[in-house]
Structure 1
């Protein structure tokens, strides 16, 4: 009888200590992606911002849809200026670039591209991939895409 009483009290104690209100799991809401539009006639965004990262679409060395003259060096210079402009207009900078992909029409021009590219990163060197590719936009010698974080 004593065992039944102790068992009953233990069960009653456990039941009374059990929370009556269910804890709800709240999902952290993230902001939707922000699409930075390019020329309305183009089938892509020039950049997308998502979760504190700006993804800059491949840029070439153009001004008003016309390639700069002079080959890989001047094209790389203008390409990087175009990237810097997009980053700065959207709360980032070249110092916040974490990854770039460089596509070259002729991989043999990598050294000339690299000589200009590195001047844009005096304080750090982002992760980078480089590859040869044919058919770049506007028949460019180089196209570069980047990812950078945005300061909060």
Structure 2
């Protein structure tokens, strides 16, 4: 079965990026840090493909399969997003696609600030 997945959708000045897991060319990374870094790299690719940048990200939702990864997520996250960082929600979930440990979705405002 294939899901009706749309990686990005533009609505006026808004760009909504669907959740990204740490799935790269070689599959899902084994460790949490690798998965989060790949998920953020996937976001970068979607941003670039849609003419947007990480500093335009306004809202992020991070889904964690294990809240024990929260501190490590914060460390990697703060290295990726610079000030002023986007608003963020972090949600603990029972499971993620393909057994991923983290998923990141983003809302991006591409209009005038």
TM-score by length of structure 2 reads 0.91
Q: Report whether the alignment pairs 1:46 with 2:7.
A: yes
* Structure 1 runs of 4+ with >2 Å offset: none
Higher relative contact order by CA 8 Å / sep ≥ 6: 1 or 2?
2
Cα deviation, residue 44, structure 1: 1.8
- 1:90 correspondence with 2:44: no
Q: Quick one: distance in 1 between partners of 2:56 and 2:26? A: 27
Which structure: greater strand fraction?
2
CA distance, structure 1, for counterparts of residue 53 and residue 111 of structure 2: 9
Question: Unpaired runs of 5+ in structure 2?
Answer: none
Q: Is the 8 A contact 1:62 1:68 kept in 2?
A: yes
Does residue 103 of the first structure (1) align with residue 60 of the second (2)? no
Stretches of structure 1 lacking an aligned partner (at least 5 in a row): 1-40
Higher gyration radius (CA): 1
Matches within 5 A, 1:1-152: 41-64=2-25, 66-69=27-30, 71-151=31-111
TM-aligned CA distance change 1:42 to 1:65, over 3 Å: farther
Structure 1 113/137 Cα, relative in aligned 2: closer, same or farther at 3 Å?
A: same
Whether contact under 8 Å (2:67, 2:92) holds in the other structure is yes
Shift of the alpha carbon at 1:64?
A: 3.7
1:120 and 1:88 map into 2 onto residues whose CA distance is: 15
Q: Distance in 1 between matches of 2:102 and 2:73?
A: 8
Q: SS at 2:3's partner residue?
A: coil
Residue 151 of structure 1, CA deviation: 4.7
Normalised to the residue count of structure 1, the TM-score between the two structures is: 0.68
